[in-house]
Structure 1
Amino acid sequence: MCTCLLSFDPASAVPVLLVGVRDEYADRLWDPPAAHWPDRPDLLGGRDRQAGGTWLAVNPTLPRAGCVLNGCGADAPAEGRLSRGDLPLRAAGDGELGGLDLPRLDPFHLVCAEPDRVRVWTWTGLELTERSLEPGVHVVVNTGLDASCPGPTAIPQHALDGIRARLGHFGPRLRAAERPEPKDGDTAAAWGSWLPLAEGDGLDQDDPRALLHRHLTDTGRVFATTSVSLVALGPAGVRYDFSGRPGDPAAWTTVLG
């Protein structure tokens, strides 16, 4: 149930604003954002200890950011399956997906954001598509840019209902919020009216619209929102804030400012 909230305004001093919300099993270990990959020292991001990749990567030099979400469709065969954690590194580092062995990857949506363009690649397990986003506010969820599943395998109805509720709540709320131009100062000063939205907009974790959630699965494991990233891309550089305790206002740190 990961979510990417995004505003693209090429006429702004800060054309790209991105909120990356990661949902994962709470017991899956990870490291906070840093330059974790020796072969890609230009990239920053949190590192998943299990597979070694990331859910969101930032290239402060270009600048460019990549953010991956699980998609819906036909999963890859278990034998030989590759981690999708390499995808944000490819997007932020290269801006392209050349050389991917797609049949070994489960479905995904991959956001690649730059100050002058934002693209979303979608892999359904059968087909790869690329879409360039128009200026405006976009909410990317596990079904893509809307609540229809492009792949051959339908997601559970309760999950689809939650996605629709989240889209219906946060899309209008983002469009109505004053658009910040994050620069100096702490996270609250930099992100203004976007910060309360990134912190869940006051919704309870069990609300169907919730951006930040936590629940017990049928297997007894906790599935929850484990981190939130705020990324601003502009010609003058990158602003990158991170929270590993979503919903706690004191948990924000500035990775790049």
Structure 2
Amino acid sequence: MCTCLLSFDPSSAVPVLLVGVRDEYADRLWDPPAAHWPDRPGLLGGRDRQAGGTWLAVDPAAPRAACVLNGCGVDAPAEGRLSRGDLPLRAAEHGTPDGLELSRLDPFHLVCAEPDRVRVWTWTGQDLTERSLEPGVHLVVNTGLDATCPGPTAIPQTALDGIRARLAHFRPRLEAAARPEPKDGPAAEAWGDWLPLAEGDGLDPADPRALLHRHLTDTGRVFATTSVSLVALGPTGVRYDFSGRPGDPSAWTTVLG
């Protein structure tokens, strides 16, 4: 996942609104959100078939949601490297990423949201930091919370410029949009002004500001936005919507709500 858009308002009936955008190679197979993990029957999320983990997990009973993004820093040694896809499962289940050998993980940003608090852990390959978010609108990308990269990065300058342009475009629009309190009904009705933003705000995938991406890499593989998740957390319930065809308004399905 390459972008997490989040609004935290403890005074709202629905304190947490989260948009999780996953960018991945288009030929990397995955399964849509469901209870895929028999050892964690209470968790819902999409499953990456290659590694078996997920990019975003929801525990409706907690309620809690967690998502992971690739980070900046020093990669783990290839021998013994673990998938980061277990991080959202651990965080959604327990509220922390404790229990994993960090030295075997590549850099990451892990967002864990509950109705009364939102935390972000960042691992650079050398240091782990934890930050609690204040109420407001927050954007987490591969270069960190609000694009403040805490470690060395090999991300090309053009990509860094694109990340900053994306934040500059979407932050004021999220702040200006009427904040929904998703409950019943189809996604468009439940999410209101937020849904067009989650669908890319009409930007072309080639636009540097684009939230939804699609391009051909130097190796001939397509790298694209493969899914978008919408999660709303309230003290008495969870709303979870999912699209496996980003940008297509007819593709939204309600996983929970």
TM-score for both structures, normalised by structure 2: 0.99
User: What residue in structure 1 maps to residue 80 of structure 2?
Assistant: 80
User: What residue in structure 1 maps to residue 131 of structure 2?
Assistant: 131
Structure 1 distance, partners of 2:135, 2:154, is 30
Secondary structure (helix, strand or coil) at the match of 1:178 reads coil
Alignment of 1:227-238 (within 5 A): 227-238=227-238
Structure 2 distance, partners of 1:147, 1:228, is 20
Matched AA of 1:220: G
- Give how far 1:25 is off: 0.1
Q: Name which of structure 1's ranges 237-246 and 151-160 shifts more when overlaid on structure 2.
A: 151-160
Unpaired stretches in structure 1, ≥5 consecutive residues: none
Alignment of 1:100-119 (within 5 A): 100-119=100-119
Matched AA of 1:194: W
Contact 1:149 1:155 in 2 (8 A): no
User: What residue in structure 2 maps to residue 219 of structure 1?
Assistant: 219
Segments of 4+ in structure 1 off by > 3 A? Answer: none
Secondary structure (helix, strand or coil) at the match of 1:18 reads strand
- Give how far 1:152 is off: 2.5
Structure 2 distance, partners of 1:229, 1:98, is 25
Secondary structure (helix, strand or coil) at the match of 2:37 reads coil
User: Is structure 2 residue 174 aligned with structure 1 residue 183?
Assistant: no
Matched AA of 1:248: D
- Give how far 1:154 is off: 4.1
Structure 2 distance, partners of 1:155, 1:223, is 15
TM-score for both structures, normalised by structure 1: 0.99
Structure 2 distance, partners of 1:19, 1:147, is 17
Secondary structure (helix, strand or coil) at the match of 2:76 reads coil
Secondary structure (helix, strand or coil) at the match of 2:145 reads coil
Secondary structure (helix, strand or coil) at the match of 2:188 reads helix
Structure 2 distance, partners of 1:132, 1:149, is 17
Alignment of 1:192-203 (within 5 A): 192-203=192-203
Indicate how the Cα distance of structure 1 residues 27 and 154 shifts in structure 2: closer, same or farther if over 3 A, else same. Answer: closer
Structure 2 distance, partners of 1:152, 1:198, is 29
User: What residue in structure 2 maps to residue 96 of structure 1?
Assistant: 96
Residue correspondences, number = 257
- What is the Cα-based RMSD across aligned positions, in Å? 0.8
- Give how far 1:98 is off: 1.7
Matched AA of 1:113: A
Contact 2:138 2:146 in 1 (8 A): no
